[in-house]
């Protein structure tokens, strides 16, 4: 009688495949990432230009040359959405990864060493959690970069607002991951295999890197996936308020800002970026739910 051997990857895929909404969401996000990531190539193939202003062709309806029409400056709306998607997804993924890295480092050190270090780090975490997030982000986004001693080339760069948003959101969004990692590290450090490693003379850094961190990977992946959608939403809110990504760089958030005064004259200018933000955030949430169910060790 032969025994079937199931690899962990096969079991993970089998559990994830049962979550149909997660499969659909992952496929949708992959399509959006491919289109947005290859924006220059797609715009070249489709002969679209999202930067050229043509005031004689303002608010044009959908046509062969402009599949979704044009905006208030005569720019192709589809091209602007593709370019905006690249920025919004880049900000969401980059800030989520940085926030997860910060939260993982703080939670790992806090949970493993405990004592005064744990108390200090958790009180700092509590302090940041107690601050109202949106007003905090608005205040940080309004800081004049030239007064922080940064190089003039960075301050005057057209990508300065992009760098600012990534850093601000990452600095404000690590608390959830830190608490999650700390809680699991507190449980793992009491396990027998950790005590055995300590008895064999393994250093604290090696124990955290080799034994604890791999066991936290599933929780970190899920938390990062879920936070990506929230970060995209926060970027859109800040851009809508005029404190996020600044023109001429396009993002879904500042596309909504430009459309708010034209909602009755050209509602499609607000509908398309708003719908893309909504669908993307929901897709990340469904994907996170599917990964959480698939990576759950109890299943």
Statement: residue 239 has pLDDT above 50: yes
Structure tokens at 82: 């593709």
Contact 284, 210 (CB under 8 A): no
User: Is the preceding omega at residue 251 within 30 degrees of 0, hence cis?
Assistant: no
Q: What is the pLDDT of residues 133-162, one digit of tens each?
A: 778 777 777 777 777 677 777 666 767 777
CA distances from 275 to 213, 243, 280 (A): 37, 21, 8
| Closest of 84, 51, 95, 96 to residue 276, by C-alpha | 84
pLDDT of res. 173: 83
Contact 161, 155 (CB under 8 A): no
CATH topology of domain 26-36+70-295: MetI-like fold (1.10.3720)
Q: Return d(Cα 61, Cα 66) in angstroms, integer.
A: 8
| Residue 184 φ then ψ, to 5° | -75, -30
Place 8 in a pLDDT band, splitting at 50, 70 and 90: low
Domain borders along the chain are 26-36+70-295
Q: What is the pLDDT of residues 202-221, one digit of tens each?
A: 888 888 888 888 888 888 88
Q: Return d(Cα 227, Cα 229) in angstroms, integer.
A: 5
Contact 174, 99 (CB under 8 A): yes
Burial 10-24, CB ≥16 within 10 A → b, else e: eeeeebbeebeebee
Dihedral angle over CA of 230, 234, 236, 242, nearest 10: 180
Contact 269, 258 (CB under 8 A): yes
Q: Return d(Cα 87, Cα 80) in angstroms, integer.
A: 11
| Residue linked to tokens 């300065």 | 160
Q: Return d(Cα 126, Cα 123) in angstroms, integer.
A: 5
Q: Where are the alpha helices (DSSP H) in the chain?
A: 8-17, 20-37, 39-46, 77-113, 115-130, 133-141, 152-155, 160-172, 175-188, 192-199, 204-206, 213-240, 252-259, 268-295
pLDDT of res. 101: 92
Statement: residue 23 has pLDDT above 50: yes
Structure tokens at 89: 């997804």
Contact 107, 182 (CB under 8 A): yes
Statement: residue 4 has pLDDT above 50: no
pLDDT of res. 6: 56
Predicted TM-score (pTM) of this structure: 0.83
Q: What is the pLDDT of residues 40-75, one digit of tens each?
A: 888 888 888 778 888 888 888 888 888 888 888 888
């Amino acid at each position: 009688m032969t025994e079937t051997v199931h690899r962990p990857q096969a079991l993970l895929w089998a559990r994830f495949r049962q979550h149909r909404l997660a499969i659909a969401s992952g496929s949708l996000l992959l399509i959006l990432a491919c289109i947005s990531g290859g924006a220059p190539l797609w715009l070249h193939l489709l002969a679209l230009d999202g930067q050229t202003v043509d005031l004689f062709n303002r608010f044009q309806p959908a046509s062969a040359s402009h599949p979704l029409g044009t905006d208030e400056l005569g720019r192709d709306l589809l091209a602007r959405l593709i370019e905006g998607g690249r920025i919004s997804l880049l900000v969401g993924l980059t800030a989520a990864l940085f926030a997860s890295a910060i939260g993982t480092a703080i939670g790992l050190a806090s949970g493993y060493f405990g004592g005064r270090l744990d108390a200090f780090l958790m009180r700092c975490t509590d302090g940041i959690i107690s601050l109202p997030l949106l007003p905090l982000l608005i205040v940080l986004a309004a800081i004049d970069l030239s007064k922080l001693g940064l190089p003039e080339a960075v301050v005057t760069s057209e990508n300065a607002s992009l760098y600012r948003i990534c850093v601000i959101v990452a600095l404000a969004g690590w608390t959830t991951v830190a608490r999650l990692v700390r809680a699991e590290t507190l449980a793992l450090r009491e396990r027998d295999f950790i005590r055995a490693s300590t008895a064999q003379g393994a250093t604290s850094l090696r124990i955290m890197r080799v034994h604890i961190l791999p066991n936290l990977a599933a929780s970190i992946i899920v938390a990062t996936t879920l936070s990506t959608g929230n970060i995209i939403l926060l970027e859109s809110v800040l851009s809508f308020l005029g404190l996020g990504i600044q023109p001429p760089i396009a993002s879904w958030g500042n596309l909504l800002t430009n459309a708010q005064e034209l909602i009755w004259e050209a509602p499609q200018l607000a509908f398309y970026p708003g719908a893309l933000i909504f669908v993307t955030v929901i897709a990340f949430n469904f994907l996170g739910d599917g990964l959480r169910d698939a990576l759950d060790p109890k299943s």
